[in-house]
Amino acid sequence: MRISLALVPLLCACVGAPAGPASITAEVTSSAGDGDSRWTTDLQQRPTTGTTGTTGTTEPELPSEGFHCDPRLQDCPADHKCTPFASMGADDWNGARCVPLVTDPAGLGEPCETRDHSHSGLDDCGPGLMCWYFESLTDLRGRCLGLCRDDDTCEDPGARCYVQPSASYLCYPLCDPLAQDCPPPATLCVRSSSVDGFICRYAPAGEPAGAGMPCEGETDCAPGHVCDPADLVSGCAGERCCAPLCSLSQPNCPPGLDACEAYDPGPPPEYTDLGICRAP
């Protein structure tokens, strides 16, 4: 049985301080794999029993801001990994630094734990991995997700690199939008403009919007819904409103949105049965 060990930060030993990750140039070409049970098993408490990996009794400070390594290249010294982090406890990544690996780190899809705050980058996952999908912002137990490689692909064929405007870091697992089969905690299986497929994202706080309710993006809607243009959703009071997804072979749409239309006119094989409930 693996034991989760707490991290002992060391001063980053990376040479130089690159300005940031390499520019984004490649398209994502990985495809969804067969059903993978690692995303459906319950999270387990991984007990902490001590400190790890490196010698010494003090904890020198890690770099507090800036890019000191490239997470996509993993260019840190031995026994360290390069991880994105947010300086000053920010809520989005704005740097990358080398942190020491724990003894016996968690692998892809395995339970993990992050220390200090959600974007600290201090976790017990192995190299090229990051702990994500937390129970809550106060309970930072989650699962190890892969980091994007330098060509914006993922080691896991069942995941896709989520490309952000300034950088790409995490490989989010693909999912079935009709089954909403994302791993816990509360996540949504949604389409992203930067990913060719549906990926698992966090559900925002508050009550999600149901069918016919205004929305600004996919994560505003309840599970199993997408944010559709107003002219396709009966009674929509905004520029876009939530519409239920449906199975083309077994449609089950609500009144007023009776037509189950193909989601994509030329879908990949895994989405050939996927439709959207729209106004007839």
Separation CA 48–CA 196 (nearest Å): 39
pLDDT at site 163 = 76
The mean pLDDT value for 85-113 works out to: 90
48-52, 167-171, 274-278: which is most confident? 274-278
Looking at 73-82, 123-132, 163-172, 263-272, which range is the least confident one?
Answer: 163-172
* pLDDT-derived band at 124, boundaries 50, 70, 90: very high
How would you class 136 by CB atoms within 10 Å of its CB: exposed for 0-12, middle for 13-18, buried for 19 or more?
A: exposed
Give pLDDT tens digits for 19-78. Answer: 344 432 222 222 333 333 333 323 333 333 333 333 333 444 777 788 899 999 999 999
pLDDT at site 99 = 93
Give pLDDT tens digits for 189-242. Answer: 988 777 778 888 877 777 889 999 999 988 899 999 999 999 999 889 999 999
Mean pLDDT, the chain, as a whole number? 77
Confirm whether pTM is higher than 0.85. Answer: no
pLDDT at site 34 = 38
CA–CA distances in Å: residue 183 to residues 12, 155, 258: 33, 19, 31
Task: Flag whether pLDDT at 9 surpasses 80.
Answer: no
Percent of the chain residues topping a pLDDT of 90: 40
**Beta strand pairing call for 168-173 and 141-147:** antiparallel
The residue ranges of every structural domain in the chain are: 1-173, 218-278
Bigger pLDDT: 207 vs 96? 96
pLDDT at site 38 = 31
Separation CA 212–CA 171 (nearest Å): 31
Bigger pLDDT: 185 vs 230? 230
189 touches 200 (CB < 8 A): yes
Angle, alpha carbons 124-125-131 (nearest 5°): 95
